[in-house]
Amino acid sequence: LYFSAQEGMLFFYDIKDLQYEMKICADILQPISSLIVSPDYTTLLVVTDQGTVYTYKPAHSGEAVKLLDACSSCFLGADFLTPGDEYCVSVTISGEVQVWFLEDGTCLSKLNLDIEVQVN
């Protein structure tokens, strides 16, 4: 079970039978707004309140890697494109939809919706 705390810490609860252990996985240093699990459960997308998107691969037990950084408009949300977990899609508050290659953070495609996007 992965969860985040208000101060930007990513935690993992390792639950076995009636026993559990809490581990700190990464310190993002920004409040986390959402965690998205890849379809094959190998990668987490970590989206912050400031609009930065990180990837975290639990099997590698490393740090979260910054994938996308908010530029002129904050990322409102991100998710994996299925099938697989090689690409993700993001949307900004200004209405720009982007497709990203997760391996190196390359932006592959952009579409401007010409409207402001809101979360309901």
Domains and CATH numbers, the chain: 2-112 (2.130.10.10)
Q: Mean pLDDT lowest for which of 40-49, 59-68, 84-93? A: 59-68
Q: What is the Cα–Cα distance from 61 to 115, expressed in whole angstroms? A: 39
Computed on alpha carbons and rounded to an integer, the radius of gyration of the chain in Å comes to: 15
Q: H/E element holding 49?
A: none
pLDDT tier at 11, thresholds 50, 70, 90: confident
Note if the pTM is more than 0.75: no
- Distance (Å, whole) CA 17 – CA 40: 24
Task: Residue 88: name the closest of 114, 107, 71 by CA.
Answer: 107
What is d(CA 81, CA 87) in angstroms, rounded to the nearest whole number?
5
